[in-house]
Chain A
Amino acid sequence: MKILVLGGTSFLGPAIVEDAIARGWEVVLFNRGRTNPHLFPALEKIRGDRTTADVARISAVDCDAVVDTSGYFPAHVRAAAEAVKERSPQYLFVSSVSAFADLSVVGLTEAAPRARLEGDRLARIDALGFEDLRADMSLYGPLKAACEEAAEAVLPGRTTVLRPCFIVGPRDRSNRFHYWPWRMHQGGEILAPGPREVPVQLVDVRDLARFVNHCLAERHVGVHTVAGPAAATPIVELLHACKAATSTVGALTWVSEEFLLGQGATSWSIPFWVAPSDAASRGLQTVDASKARARGLELRPLAETARATLDDALSNGMDARWPHGARMREIERAWLAAWEDGR
């Protein structure tokens, strides 16, 4: 088996490459050589920027599958798919649960409609770039959906689309999940956003990577929603899993949704907290991954994800001074004081 990975050196990419190498596969990387260039010195690399005419360079590669972990705009995905369509039997595009049109729906399955741009934004879709995306993150989901369609249009019946929920674990530099293992490791009084039943979903990057390669090995095509943990998980379990990964002394103080909204919090102003009253986000952490599970998605225990993430944080020097964490703790301190005052 030989795979070509577009990107491959940031977060999900390395996990896919490591899993592929462990399977004894041959891996070729296509990227700019800017992100973590020290990774995988032994692999064949094609240098180039996929967002430019450089993408033609991959058309010379014979492989069994292409894995696209770095597509954000349909024009880029279309160009890559066109470049490889003669030489690669399968194209796996890593999309996102954001590609669902209506995230207010609980239990979204692959049959649910895709997000779409409308009107002027749709007309300009191939003119959109990273600056537009940074300026308006609401473009992210519809663009991912358009990327899915672009790949399927070029490679019908040969395209695999994976829609992961929040990807977490080693090398995640988004600060999202890392906050919790880091916070528990700092100890002290820890603000826990209630109610305890708030549903959470995440997928360990290593589990997602294994499923990516599993889909290639088994030639699974079509759309798959990818989410963990293995069972429905309320936020109380997520927090305690992170706490059980450290022996630092600390105690959780559960505060109510009403209190948090009163402090100006909104969904995700605390990582993985979705306000139950936020109807528009109700589907965000309740997607249905049963199709992927049935096709072989395996999910590790939360404890392993929490532990690996804490180890990753510590080995990256994320100590008490970690800027993102320190900012979060300032907010936390103010909120805990207000919570105490209100009681």
Chain B
Amino acid sequence: MKLLVLGGTRFLGPAIVDEAVARGHEVTLFNRGKTNPDLFPDLETLLGDRNVDLSALEGRTWDAVVDTCGYLPWQLERSARLLSSAVAQYVFISTVSVYADESHPGLDEESRVARLSDEEYERIDAMTLADVTGVTYGPLKALCERAVERLMPGRATAVRPGLICGPRDPTHRFGYWPWRLDRGGEVLAPRPMDGPQQFVDVRDLGGWIVRLVEEGHVGPYNAVGPGAPIPMEELLYGVKSVSVTPGSLTWVDEEFLVARDLGMWSIPLWVPAGDRRARGFNAVSNARAVAHGLTFRPLAETARGVLDDFDRRGDRATWEFGEEMLVKEAELLRQWRERAGG
């Protein structure tokens, strides 16, 4: 198959490209040539900034396009209009953040999506990436999905991942825990121990997207893992199992953390049970994606992959986010011990 990937050089992109190449597909990249430009020297790269000029894509055809870098509806209107006659299928990487009410457990693909405020909607065509905020991100992604579906009805696939983790993760979210647990010592673990967690290894997601294309599956898919949500306890101890550094977890009460003005994700992946969103946040249904072939590797492989990626980048010892967290953690543990001792 001939595949066009928009973006493709940061995090999910390489996982898709790696799998597509491994499965014998012919991959063309379209990007600005700015992020990791040396990643795929053997692949054809069409240079261009999707916000400015798509002309590099003109006059070509592919079996499918996978769009990993669309955030604004007008971006998708332009690319989908141009590509509707050039590709059979348009796969758009969206997000579980499209849903209107993330406090609702068991969200599936039929659940209601979020809407922009009227005021924001008015100026939607004038928005730039600077307008993508924590509030507008989900509704804009939902509108992006709608734009593709409108321009390529019955030929659009919307992949809605939650937290993606694994090699090349540019964020500090999941990666903090393998890093922290491998460092050893006393590790602050935030209660509740049974707080559910969902995440998907970028390699599982990338591989599955390629198979979605091969099989021509369309429509929306919640792409979250693992098979069922796992408790925070299972996540942390599972991640710990790939390391040999002596260390132990100190489980700190939610009330203690909340009383110190800490909230959701102020400690990576932490969702206080008392947060309004807690019931639904990590309880999204993946039934449709699983029925269409999404599988999940064991947690230990993901944790190992994250540590190997730190070593590949060579920034394990100098990771700023981690160092800052260590300072914050030490102070919290000190206060926790004082409180427990007093």
Our verdict on whether A and B bind, yes or no, reads: yes
Residues of chain A at the chain B interface (Cβ within 8 Å): 229-232, 236-237, 239-241, 243-249, 251-252, 299-304, 306-307
The minimal Cβ–Cβ distance linking B178 to chain A, given in whole angstroms, is 11
Please give 15 more A-B residue pairs, beta carbons under 8 A apart, in addition to A231-B184, A231-B247, A237-B237. A231-B244, A237-B241, A244-B300, A244-B303, A245-B298, A245-B300, A247-B297, A247-B298, A251-B228, A301-B241, A301-B243, A301-B244, A302-B241, A303-B242, A303-B300
The answer to whether the Cβ of B246 comes within 8 Å of any Cβ in the partner chain is yes
Contact at A244–B244, with CB atoms within 8 Å?
A: no
* Interface residue? B47 (CB, 8 A): no
Give the chain B neighbours of A248 by CB distance below 8 A: 227
List 8 A-B pairs, minimum CB-CB distance, nearest first: A244-B238, A231-B246, A240-B237, A241-B241, A249-B227, A303-B241, A230-B244, A303-B300
Query: Does B26 count as interface, using CB distance less than 8 angstroms?
Result: no
Instruction: Give the interface centre of A229, A239, A244, A304 by most chain B CB atoms within 10 Å.
Output: A244
B226 touches A249 (CB 8 A): yes
Residues of B153-193 whose CB lies within 8 A of A? 184
Given A231-B247, A244-B303, A300-B244, answer yes or no on A307-B238 (Cβ-Cβ < 8 Å): no
Of B233, B244, B303, most buried by chain A (CB within 10 Å of CB) is B244
Q: Is B31 an interface residue (CB 8 A)?
A: no
Q: Check A244/B298 contact, CB under 8 A, given A236-B237, A249-B226, A303-B303.
A: yes
Where chain A touches its partner, the secondary structure class is mixed
Q: Which residue of A lies closest to B204 (CB)?
A: A247
Q: Is there contact, CB below 8 Å, between B227 and A240? A: no
Can you give 22 contacting A-B residue pairs, CB < 8 Å? A229-B244, A230-B245, A230-B246, A231-B247, A240-B240, A241-B237, A241-B240, A241-B300, A244-B234, A244-B299, A245-B298, A247-B297, A247-B299, A252-B234, A299-B244, A301-B241, A301-B243, A301-B244, A303-B241, A303-B242, A303-B303, A306-B241
B304 within 8 A of A: yes
B239 adjacent to chain A (CB < 8 Å): yes
**A241 CA to B240 CA, complexed, in Å:** 8
B296 at the interface (CB under 8 A from A): yes
A237 CA to B246 CA, complexed, in Å:
12
Where the two chains meet, the residues of B that have a C-beta atom closer than 8 Å to any C-beta of A are 184, 226-228, 231, 233-234, 237-248, 295-300, 303-304
Which residues of the other chain, A, contact B247 by a CB distance below 8 angstroms? Answer: 231
B241, A247: Cβ atoms under 8 Å? Answer: no
- How close is B301's CB to chain A, nearest CB, in angstroms? 8
- Cβ contacts under 8 Å, A244 to chain B: 234, 237-239, 241-242, 298-300, 303
In the bound complex, CA of A302 to CA of B243 (Å): 8
Contact A232 B246 (CB under 8 A): yes
Q: Indicate which residue in B228, B238, B243 contacts A240 across the interface (CB closer than 8 Å).
A: B238
* A70 to B57 CA separation, bound complex (whole angstroms): 71
Complex-state Cα separation, A236 to B265, whole angstroms: 25
Distance in Å: Cβ of B2 to nearest Cβ of chain A: 32
- A241 to B234 Cα, complex, angstroms: 9
Find the residue from A229, A231, A299, A306 having the highest chain B CB count within 10 A: A231
Q: How many Å lie between the Cα of A229 and that of B247 in the bound state?
A: 12
In chain A, what residue has the closest Cβ to B182? A301
CA of A243 to CA of B301, assembled, Å: 12
Complex contact A301–B237 (CB within 8 A):
no
How distant is the Cα of A301 from the Cα of B227 in the complex, in angstroms? 25
Give the distance to chain B from A288, nearest Cβ to Cβ, in Å: 14
Question: Which residues from A are CB-within-8-Å of B233?
Answer: 236, 240
B24 CB, nearest partner CB in chain A, Å:
26
With a cutoff of 8 Å between Cβ atoms, the chain A residues found around residue B298 in the complex are 244-247, 307
In chain A, what residue has the closest Cβ to B302? A244
Given A230-B246, A231-B246, A247 contacting B240 (CB threshold 8 A):
no
- A304 partner residues in chain B, CB cutoff 8 A: 242
CB-nearest residue of chain A to B228: A249
Q: Nearest-CB distance from B102 to chain A (Å)?
A: 23
For residue B300, which residues in chain A have a CB less than 8 angstroms away from its CB? 241, 244-245, 303, 306-307
CB distance from A235 to the nearest CB of B (A): 11
What chain B residues lie within 8 Å of A306 (beta carbons)?
241, 300
Nearest Cβ on chain A to B308's Cβ, whole angstroms: 13
A149 to B248, CA, bound (A): 39
Contacts of A252 in B (CB 8 A): 234
A306 to B238 CA separation, bound complex (whole angstroms):
11
